[in-house]
Amino acid sequence: MTRLLEQVISKLKSLPEEEQNAIASRLLAEVEDEQSWKTQFESTTDEQWDQMAEMVRNEIKTGDTTPIIDIFPSQSE
């Protein structure tokens, strides 16, 4: 176990049981989600990656994308 994880567990022990369980549930869900994504990525074939890349290129070409600045405007503006 890493030192950082040990620090987290130490702090969690000082919380009420209800809060510990709420945080533990979120962490378990996060771990399961990461495992699911890892499985998805590892099982994706080169042909599937190529198909996705081609779809993205077509969306860019046809203007079916939104500029990132429109989604996440700069904080300095």
pLDDT along the chain (77 residues), means of 10: 95 97 97 97 97 95 90 76
pTM score over 0.75: no
Place of tokens 């429109």: 70
For residues 65 and 59, is the Cβ–Cβ distance under 8 A?
yes
Which amino acid is located at 24 in the chain?
Answer: A
Give residue 74's pLDDT: 82
Burial group, residue 46, by CB count within 10 angstroms (0-12, 13-18, 19+) = exposed
CB-based contact 33:22 (threshold 8 Å): no
Q: Is the CB of residue 20 less than 8 Å from the CB of residue 12?
A: yes
